[in-house]
Amino acid sequence: MKVASVESPRVIICGSMRAWDHMRQIHDSLTDCGIDALIPDVDEISQSTSTDELARIKRVASLKHFGHIQDAHTAAVLVVNVEKDGQSDYIGPNSFAEIAVAVAAGRQVYLMYGTPPVYSEELRAWGARELHGHLDALAAEMQFARAS
């Protein structure tokens, strides 16, 4: 899969909202390397939020993030797949949907850690690349894309 050819390639960061602080740290690291990165907005959900309102909020957030993934300035998606509920390399349903949108849009997919067994065949077929906790390869590729 090729990195999109754009002046300033962007990386869209995805993951469970429980990992938002980790996503923010990765965002800051990429930004420090001169890479345009975008993380999802923090959910504004309270315990009093109704089921219907929760569904509306999640739909709006998902569609907004899908739009960022499909944007011409986006070169890649980075899934911050930290451990969740005892499952290492966790990728939830929203992140998997974001990966599918990225693949359909021709964007490179990176996994911050490893590949969860439940999605191994699909992620291998779609060309997802494991970073094993290191941003070096992603940063180098984004800087190369910017220079090209």
Surface-to-core class of residue 84, CB atoms within 10 Å of its CB (0-12 exposed, 13-18 middle, 19+ buried): middle
pTM for the structure as a whole: 0.90
Q: Would 83 be classed as within a structural domain?
A: yes
Q: pLDDT value at position 2?
A: 42
Q: Is residue 5 part of a domain?
A: no
What residues are paired with 38 via a beta bridge?
Answer: 12
Q: Tell me whether residue 127 is in a domain.
A: yes
3-class SS of residue 75: strand
In a domain, 21, yes or no: yes
Distance CA 100, CA 22 (A): 22
CATH number, domain containing residue 33 = 3.40.50.450
Q: What is the per-residue pLDDT across 65-95, written as a single tens digit (0 to 9) for each?
A: 999 999 999 999 999 999 999 999 999 999 9
* Count of structural domains, the chain: 1
**Structural domain includes residue 124:** yes
Residue 2 domain flag:
no
In a domain, 36, yes or no: yes
Task: Give residue-wise pLDDT tens across range 25-43.
Answer: 999 999 998 899 999 988 7
Residue numbers of the domain that contains 83: 10-147
User: Would you say residue 4 lies in a domain?
Assistant: no
pLDDT of 6 > 70? The answer is no
38-58: per-residue pLDDT in tens?
Answer: 999 887 777 888 999 888 988
Which helix H or strand E contains 38, and what residues bound it? Answer: strand 36-38
Q: What are the start-end ranges of the H helices in the chain?
A: 20-32, 51-70, 93-104, 120-125, 136-147
3-state SS assignment for residue 43: coil
Per-chain mean pLDDT for the chain: 90
